[in-house]
Amino acid sequence: QKEVEQDPGPLSVPEGAIVSLNCTYSNSAFQYFMWYRQYSRKGPELLMYTYSSGNKEDGRFTAQVDKSSKYISLFIRDSQPSDSATYLCAYDGGYQKVTFGTGTKLQVIP
Amino acid sequence: GAGVSQSPRYKVAKRGQDVALRCDPISGHVSLFWYQQALGQGPEFLTYFQNEAQLDKSGLPSDRFFAERPEGSVSTLKIQRTQQEDSAVYLCASSLARRLASKTGELFFGEGSRLTVL
């Protein structure tokens, strides 16, 4: 069992839709969580990071961590075609290496 | 440029050949990481440097993989006697600080070196 599980998709939505991307993790000791976005043939780039439980909002993006259910979510409001990419959830276990999920491929159709 | 630079972008090797992949991190970044990303998968950790010291190499899949960062700046990932299962994108990332999940600890990735072993 991978430490971070993520539905690979692909997920296809119409422009303007609200997108919900989810991950589950296995180790309750994890505290720092991140979402990375990766465009085709590019390296991942950090979208958001959160610590412990709760919500964090940045523009159209909201990251949510529910430690009781070991669930990480990323919500994208008013999705745009430019949001089409692979979204990787990740955690920092505090040992200087980020562990990534498999990624969910999102396509926003105009 | 100001970002992480990797070369070559694409490499085709015959099985059994040795390859060397180069990473030029952002100037002043202390931490450097190598990741391997297979098709349709997330990046998998290979190794981590803090300055010139290799502090974690637990992700290197075999002793055919070797990484170095002799002067605490440019790093090279070397793969000896390449096998078909080594085909992947090799990503390099650097960060300014030790704490990753913070603004100053953000990982900056290069575009990767895509290795195809025939």
pLDDT in tens, chain A (110 residues): 678 889 888 999 999 999 999 999 888 777 788 999 999 999 999 998 887 778 889 999 999 998 888 889 999 999 999 999 999 999 886 656 788 999 999 999 99
| Residue type, position A57, single letter | E
Q: Which residues of B touch A32 (CB under 8 A)?
A: 100-101
> Is the minimum CB–CB distance between A41 and chain B shorter than 8 Å?
yes
- Sheet of B75-79: strand order equals B5-7, B19-24, B75-79, B65-68
Do residues B13 and B116 make contact, with C-beta atoms less than 8 angstroms apart? yes
Which among B41, B48, B111 has the least Cβ separation from residue A96?
A: B48
Contact B40 A32 (CB under 8 A): no
Q: What per-residue confidence (pLDDT) applies to A51?
A: 78
CA B13 to chain CA centroid, nearest Å: 18
CA distance linking residue B104 with residue B69, whole number of Å: 22
Q: Mean pLDDT over all residues of chain B?
A: 92
> Is the minimum CB–CB distance between B100 and chain A shorter than 8 Å?
yes
* 3-state SS assignment for residue A23: strand
**Strands A11-14 and A104-109, how do they pair?**
parallel
Q: What per-residue confidence (pLDDT) applies to A93?
A: 67
> Is the minimum CB–CB distance between B96 and chain A shorter than 8 Å?
no
Selected residue with higher pLDDT from B64 and A94? B64
> Is the minimum CB–CB distance between A96 and chain B shorter than 8 Å?
yes
| Residue type, position A71, single letter | Y
**pLDDT value at B112 more than 70:** yes
Do residues B36 and B16 make contact, with C-beta atoms less than 8 angstroms apart? no
Please tell me the distance in Å from A63's CA to the nearest CA on chain B: 14
**pLDDT value at B104 more than 50:** no
